[in-house]
Amino acid sequence: MRTIAAAMSAPCARFCDQLYAETRRLLEDYTATSKETIELEYIQVWLLLGFYELLRVGENQATLTAARCSRLVLMARLFEIDAPGSDEESHDEDNFYVVEERRRTFWLAYCLDCFLYSRGEYPPTMQEEMICTRLPAPEANFQNNQSVCTPFLAEAVAAKATEGPSTSLSSFSECVVLATLYAQCSSHRRSRVTKQPGTSRGDFWPRLKHLAAAANTRIQVLAAHPTHVDSDPMLLFAHMLARGAVIKLCQAAASAPAWGPAEQQQQQEYKRRASTAAAEMVWLTRQIPHFSCFKVHPFLPDPLACAIGFFNDERGAFTTTPPDANDVAHLMQVLKELQDMNSLAREDSYPRSRAISSGKTAKRMWLLDGGGREGFWKHKLIIKYPADNIIQHQSLDGQESELDRPGVHAGWGRAGLQVRHCLSGNMSAKPERRTCQLRERS
């Protein structure tokens, strides 16, 4: 607790490393002797440590800790708390809070796993089909030990917005449902490349339509039960996840081959929905006077970066209605406000470098440099600068070439491309070096 508290406090930040190291040492020294004796508090401490690492250490270490948490909750069998025949299925209402604490521990581990595998494009540790634990109860019921029956995850995901108040969930439960949809939408684009046995080419678009309907349902449910997002950080995050899922679906549709006019029309429709979702995310962030680590979810930078990426893609595609530059600047400012206390915000404030394999298959990519200027291309790198700049590029293999004409350079490149440019046409002037990062365009 002291470690996570120090992570949230600027004056105590200097103690973070020492407290973190001591916490890890104590956890490593603790021995869970068997699956029957795994203590709930032991799992909870590892979860707190995982969120600390997400804030302060970095995504890779947090992913390793999240994997450990997932194994622990599986060994403790928290995924089947409400399964038929389980001890908790007929629990005493007086002990509701005890069972609910176990449920919440499981769902926290599940969400951490969802967020990190969707971001890192890893296979999930916990499969949704095996979960027989009900969604978290509302906070008031938990605090007052008032028993309430909540739906299962599969029921909530399949629910329709027209089914009435039963689809209204607590903020925590909405985040669980939307974390699931967000991860499913992220992975659907990859399903086009890695086909499962028994699937056909025609499965992609029906599945995309199903996910879009589920995301739209959650947006309608959230809109039907308005609450001020500035007073409920979890609800704000749920709204962001819902819009982020819509953008992910647009990216999936854009990456799929359009086999006919029907698919092309669907691609345009998903792009229109994503544009609306991104604009709504900007509106939501403007409702918060100031973002701090105390009032936002640790994973909030990811859907924000998703919206920024969509805006940049639209601007690079030279659409007839390019996004407002002020919207992009505002979202970037929000990420900047979170940088001091959130490693994901620090990473997403700059483009993430991703190795590009050399081969005959052309990839669609985009580039941003430290100054915020960008170029976009297909098959070749195109770097655009003001006409009075002289530009050279140097790839990882050491080859260097000069700009063939002021303003534009086209050529092959790799991750880690460096661009040098002079602010005047005089080659004797000392060039300013900027490091450009290259990644695959979603």
What confidence category does residue 15 fall into, taking pLDDT thresholds of 50, 70 and 90? Answer: confident
State yes or no: pLDDT of 148 exceeds 70: yes
CB 221 within 8 A of CB 177: no
- CA 56 – CA 293 distance, rounded (Å): 11
- CA 252 – CA 383 distance, rounded (Å): 26
Residue 112 backbone phi and psi in degrees, to 5: -60, -40
Instruction: Return the pLDDT at 10.
Output: 61
- CA 356 – CA 347 distance, rounded (Å): 19
CA atoms within 13 A on the CB side of 349: 16
Instruction: Return the pLDDT at 7.
Output: 61
What confidence category does residue 313 fall into, taking pLDDT thresholds of 50, 70 and 90? Answer: confident
* Burial classification of residue 148, based on how many CB atoms lie within 10 Å of its CB (0-12 exposed, 13-18 middle, 19 or more buried): middle
What confidence category does residue 202 fall into, taking pLDDT thresholds of 50, 70 and 90? Answer: low
- CA 100 – CA 358 distance, rounded (Å): 51
State yes or no: pLDDT of 50 exceeds 70: yes
CB 310 within 8 A of CB 244: no
**Prediction pTM value:** 0.75
Query: Where do the domains of the chain lie?
Result: 2-195+202-256, 364-440
